[in-house]
Amino acid sequence: MNPEAEYVAAIDQGTTSTRAMIFDRNGSVVYSEQLEHEQIFPRAGWVEHDPMEIWRNTRRIAAAALAGAQLQPGEIAACGITNQRETTVVWDRHTGQPVYNAIVWQDTRTDDLCRELAGDVGVDRYRERTGLPLSTYFAGPKIRWILDNVAGVRERAEAGDLLFGTMDSWLAWNMTGGVDGGLHITDVTNASRTMLMDLHTLQWDEEICADFQIPTSMLPTIHSSSAVLGSLRTVGSLPNVPLGGILGDQQAAMFGQACLEPGEAKNTYGTGNFLLLNTGTEAVLSKHGLLTTVCYRLGDEPARYALEGSIAVTGSLVQWLRDNLGIISSAAQVEELARRAEDNGGVYFVPAFSGLFAPRWRPDARGVIVGLTRFADRTHIARAVLEASAYQTREVIEAMEADSGVPLNTLKVDGGMVVNDLLMQFQSDILGVPVVRPVVNETTALGAAYAAGLAVGFWKSVDEIRDNWAHGGQWEPTMADDERSRLFAGWNRAVTHSFDLA
Ligand SMILES: Nc1ncnc2c1ncn2[C@@H]1O[C@H](COP(=O)(O)OP(=O)(O)O)[C@@H](O)[C@H]1O
Ligand SMILES: O=P(O)(O)OC[C@H](O)CO
């Protein structure tokens, strides 16, 4: 590390957009650049991204962030990568060309395959080893789909010509040289979302790979989340900057929120919602529909684990209102529209667009709007859209409390939706606990910057990270208990109407 360097960079490759951010020693945002990419929906239930578009965007925003902050590459101590998890790319190691679009985590095309893999044992066949139920959500079945369905790909994979990666691997390979010696790497958090890694050994599980018929030669090497992995060679704006860390975005947000002790939790409101609870060095298996996942691993220290409640559709329901129904023209407008309604008017929107994830895991569910009367209008729908995020969050918190035996007394939040005051107030009301957000809401990018900065000694210990966390806003519950119970009971009835529709 250049001892003069006073900044750390992070690339945050999200479901909706890619951000390049630069942070200073206090963890404050110095500069941020962002580009959205196309959401490709070739059929009902299918969701894809173009990996080349995302790589082009990454180079553009990295250059723009450095120029905007008026910094030279030598002033950047390290760069970290964080990413939407599970989204799967397979590419040719000789040409750098993907063999198919990236299959996104929300895509449900592998439903039959998952059922087939579950066989008589059921969806928990690999749960002890991977922490996960068999679900369309994870990368393993998506790789298998590409191998089975794209002409010639299985042969090329078996000949050793193809590489698999989640978006971190795809970007890391491209950023460290691509066809010219790019590193084929991932970290323990991303690998823990493939269903192919043993949660305890932190290595690929050969038996599961064989069951999934995935050649292990395609898989990246698994590294710690905070370690110098190489240097950037093909991001013109950041030559020779050390790549100091990789973390899945939800795990990065744990870092950015300084949830570094067992018992600490956060909820991120982005395309979906992801609530994680740090369980320390113990990988706790859930009895209530949550996932067990690697939270992070720093250098050679033992890995830390988390329980996770993943909700597939929250912010993307707001996007759907904007793009598919056109009743708002920007995501922010949903709040203004929802405020025009006094309450939900009896309307509930269950956004089971990818089935239901945690804690219900119902691949057979599909989206429904229930409770409609002639009275209901777009304002009630907007309100039901926002309330859906809060109800789904309450479901995963109840599961978390049942697993841990510890009641939640405050909810730490972050992500794109937390600027929505109506949602945050309703969240506090429906939970009956305060909701707190930090000053720096981009906790995902910040977490990746922290991991990278720790690896090069820019920050000396996690204590500095804890000290950087600053209280940015708070909402207190004001709803009466019986109203809270009545509304949540209505939600639970609404959810049953989404079942058996796929
Ligand atoms: N004011 C708002 N109210 C409600 N939702 C919002 C608002 N602003 C953005 N969003 C939603 O937040 C999501 C973007 O959040 P972000 O954390 O950037 O997501 P990701 O990391 O998944 O790409 C989008 O789905 C968008 O619809
Ligand atoms: O892109 P985000 O922030 O919605 O995160 C997506 C998750 O990583 C999917 O598991």
CA 58, CA 234: separation in Å to the nearest integer? 11
Q: Does residue 315 line the site of ligand 2, with CB under 6 A?
A: no
3-state SS, residue 143: helix
CA 136, CA 87: separation in Å to the nearest integer? 11
Alpha helices by DSSP H, listed for 281-413, are 315-320, 333-339, 378-404
**Which value, in Å, is the radius of gyration of the alpha carbons in the chain?**
22
DSSP 189: H
Q: The whole model's pTM is what?
A: 0.92
pLDDT value at position 307? 95
CA of 315, closest atom in ligand 1: 25
- For atom 7 of ligand 2, which residue has the closest CA? 84
Please, is 34 exposed, middle or buried when counting C-beta atoms within 10 Å of its C-beta (0-12, 13-18, 19+)? Answer: middle
CA 122, CA 120: separation in Å to the nearest integer? 6
**447 CA from centroid of ligand 2 (Å):** 14
**296 CA from centroid of ligand 2 (Å):** 16
CA 191, CA 209: separation in Å to the nearest integer? 13
Which residues in 205-234 are b (16+ Cβ under 10 Å) and which e? Answer: beebbebbebbeebbbebbbbbbbbbbbbb
**250 CA from centroid of ligand 2 (Å):** 7
Q: Residue 449's closest CA among 3, 18, 28, 14?
A: 28
Q: Cα dihedral angle (404, 410, 413, 417), rounded to 10 degrees?
A: 110
Q: Does residue 142 line the site of ligand 2, with CB under 6 A?
A: no
* Best of 11, 318, 418 for a ligand 1 pocket test (most atoms within 8 Å of beta carbon): 318
pLDDT value at position 264? 87
**Cβ(126)–Cβ(208) below 8 Å:** yes
DSSP 331: T
**Cβ(157)–Cβ(147) below 8 Å:** yes
Ligand 1-lining residues (CB < 6 angstroms): 14-17, 270-271, 315-316, 318-319, 331-332, 334-335, 415-417, 419-420
pLDDT value at position 5? 86
Instruction: Looking at the CA of 335, name the nearest ligand.
Output: 1
- ipTM surpasses 0.85: yes
The verdict on whether residue 194 carries a ligand-binding annotation is no
**328 CA from centroid of ligand 1 (Å):** 14
**Cβ(193)–Cβ(86) below 8 Å:** yes
**375 CA from centroid of ligand 2 (Å):** 36
- Tell me: the pLDDT tens digits for 125-167? 999 999 999 999 999 999 999 999 999 999 999 999 999 999 9
What tens-digit pLDDT sequence spans the chain (502 residues)? Answer: 666 789 999 999 999 999 999 999 999 999 999 999 999 999 998 999 999 999 999 999 998 998 888 888 788 999 999 999 999 999 999 999 999 999 999 999 999 999 999 999 999 999 999 999 999 999 999 999 999 999 999 999 999 999 999 999 999 999 999 999 999 999 999 999 999 999 999 999 999 999 999 999 999 999 999 999 999 987 666 778 999 999 999 999 999 999 998 888 899 999 899 999 999 999 999 999 999 999 999 999 999 999 999 999 999 999 999 999 999 999 999 999 999 999 999 999 999 998 999 999 998 999 999 999 999 999 999 999 999 999 999 999 999 999 988 888 889 999 999 999 999 999 999 999 999 999 988 899 999 999 999 999 999 999 999 999 989 999 999 999 999 999 999 999 999 999 999 8
- Quote the crossing angle between the two packed helices 421-431 and 378-404, to the nearest 10°: 40
pLDDT value at position 1? 61
Please, is 394 exposed, middle or buried when counting C-beta atoms within 10 Å of its C-beta (0-12, 13-18, 19+)? Answer: middle
The verdict on whether residue 86 carries a ligand-binding annotation is yes
- Tell me: the pLDDT tens digits for 406-429? 888 889 999 999 999 999 999 999
The verdict on whether residue 251 carries a ligand-binding annotation is no
CA of 84, closest atom in ligand 2: 8
- For atom 5 of ligand 2, which residue has the closest CA? 84
Which two tokens mark 153?
């790909």
- For the beta carbon of residue 144, count every other beta carbon within 10 angstroms: 21
- Quote the crossing angle between the two packed helices 443-455 and 249-256, to the nearest 10°: 80
